A = this chain, B = another copy of it.
């Protein structure tokens, strides 16, 4: 069989990592191995946005993210690989400076528009008007300037991943009690929750917040999950002060994951999510849990982290 298309490794493998001190069994779903642009949740989600864009007859992709954004890098590459013009709006560059994600995105030739954290909506509106004036039919992947409207497309990506997880449980005989991941925009968690609802799954899906407070985080997850979603589990106790900030525990998790399993985590997303999961399980678990952690990618951020040490 010839593996064509964007993702040579799909469904992604689930790997047994071992037991925590209390006895919980930990598995990892290796979405970092999807095989396009270092994989990750934004590879799945980005591919869904591209499909949605084509369906809607648009011809110019507009993405948005921070200067370390995995989404911007992935969208720039997905578009470049298909000869679709792409523009990325970048916020927070005053803080983060140059990152590998931004460098890789720039190398695609995608135009970058800088803005402040409070100027995103204005930047989106201005860019969309400008592109329309040039005769394009631009697609802003979050929907309107306030970031609403394309929830269905985003949702479909991790509904698909949930379906992979469901099948893996059937095939392996492992019955998961919990699914953890680093939760940021809500797109990944929303899709997982929607997939679980559809399939009648019983796992607790727990997002470890990488930045947002409970109100904003839960509202975003609920929006992406769509109607019918039950209680949203969005844990905000492990944020270390905010987006991109981390502590020694997260550093230790990153070191241990590389040293024990040869797997790269980063301090902004996967390392923070994994560290939060371990603390949550120590605090609330009784040891009987069978837990899946989803590795949502972001490899360039691991090398940013190494560079900064």
Contacts and interface: CB of A to CB of B under 8 A. Distances in A.
Interface of A: 1-4, 6, 8-9, 13-16, 27, 30, 33, 35-38, 43, 77-78, 80-81, 100, 103-104, 107-108, 171-172, 174, 255, 258-264, 299-300, 303, 306-307, 309
Q: How many copies does the complex hold?
A: 2
A258 B110 CA distance: 14
B3 A16 contact: yes
B303 A77 contact: no
Contacts of A300: 303
A294 to B, nearest CB: 14
A108 B261 CA distance: 12
A104 B258 contact: yes
A172 B4 CA distance: 12
B6 A13 contact: no
A35 B13 contact: yes
A2 B306 CA distance: 31
A19 to B, nearest CB: 13
B261 A104 contact: no
Residue among A4, A8, A108, A263 with the highest chain B CB neighbour number at 10 A: A8
A30 B2 CA distance: 13
Given A13-B35, A104-B258, A108-B259, 11 more contacts: A2-B14, A3-B14, A3-B15, A4-B16, A6-B262, A8-B30, A9-B33, A36-B262, A37-B262, A77-B259, A78-B262
A37 B104 CA distance: 21
A14 to B, nearest CB: 6
